[in-house]
Amino acid sequence: MLPLFDIVKYCDERLSIDAIEDAEGAHNGLQFQNSGKISKIAAAVDASLETIEKTIAIGANLLVVHHGLFWDKTIPIIENTYKKYGLLIGHDIAVYSCHLPLDAHMEIGNNACMAGLFGLVNVVQAFEYHGVKIGVMGDKRIQRSQFRALLESTFPRVIAMEFGPENIKKIGIISGGSGSLIIQAKDYGVDAVVIGECQQYHYNIARENGVNAYICGHYATETFGVKALCNEIAQKFSLPFEFIPTDCPL
């Protein structure tokens, strides 16, 4: 059993949670405290009722997520919110959440992990969101068809909008709800950009700017960071951890 706040302190410092301005109400850091001792860690993308129930099922008492319990203004603790809080208290589970800092981190962030997986080199931060670079870009010489095949072997679903060059040299990666940042691809000189999700009008932006854009799923592109973070915590504190997948297709 390890002290909860030793783990929280490590995560806060490792992720520099105060260095990036996040969505109002994101509340990066410890969101729900338990009695103070941790024996097993669960990692998940969302602090949903489903993942909380699965955390109980695997016997974990720290749930580390990308999308936390809080996002909007204060809401009544009723119905599913009541169920979630009741389960957390009843089973002595703490919840730690980290949103944009876990997208942007250059070692264990979602985008950096994908860059490593895809074999990008000379990886640097790119793609600004509210004045902060949350994505990455790097070099990789690859045929467009080969890169699409690589993505299709990695993600459950890939939507390809291929309006850029067939010979790709530079790739951008922006996890999650990043469609609005496609427009920056031309400014950064990337031939292809991997994003989580987009809206209909982003098709026109990709087409008009001559960019290869690949939509790989908000959920699917944000599984990497929590896995990397929890693997690091598990090794440092000699704790078991388990990733909790869901069937989210979005």
Give pLDDT tens digits for 142-169: 999 999 999 999 999 999 999 999 999 9
As a whole number, the mean pLDDT across the chain is: 95
Cβ proximity of 221 and 181 under 8 Å: no
Lowest mean pLDDT among 22-31, 124-133, 183-192, 207-216: 22-31
pLDDT at position 77 is 87
**How far apart are alpha carbons 98 and 50 in whole angstroms?**
19
Q: Report DSSP state, residue 92.
A: T
pLDDT at position 207 is 96
Q: Where does CATH 3.40.1390.30 sit in the chain?
A: 2-98, 103-219
Q: Which residue has the higher pLDDT, 167 or 26?
A: 167
Q: Which residue has the higher pLDDT, 25 or 153?
A: 153
Strand runs labelled E in the chain = 2-3, 29-32, 37-38, 41-46, 62-67, 94-97, 121-129, 132-143, 159-162, 167-174, 192-195, 212-215, 241-243
Q: What is the CATH number of domain 2-98?
A: 3.40.1390.30
Give pLDDT tens digits for 66-112: 999 988 777 888 899 999 999 999 999 999 999 999 999 999 999 99
pLDDT at position 15 is 96
- pLDDT band (50, 70, 90) for residue 25: confident
Which CATH number, 3.40.1390.30, 1.10.357.10, 3.30.470.20, 2.60.40.10, labels domain 103-219? 3.40.1390.30
Alpha-carbon torsion, ordered 180, 185, 186, 191, to 10 deg: -140
**Nearest-CA neighbor of 194 among 205, 179, 210?**
179
pTM: 0.94
pLDDT at position 109 is 97
- pLDDT band (50, 70, 90) for residue 22: confident
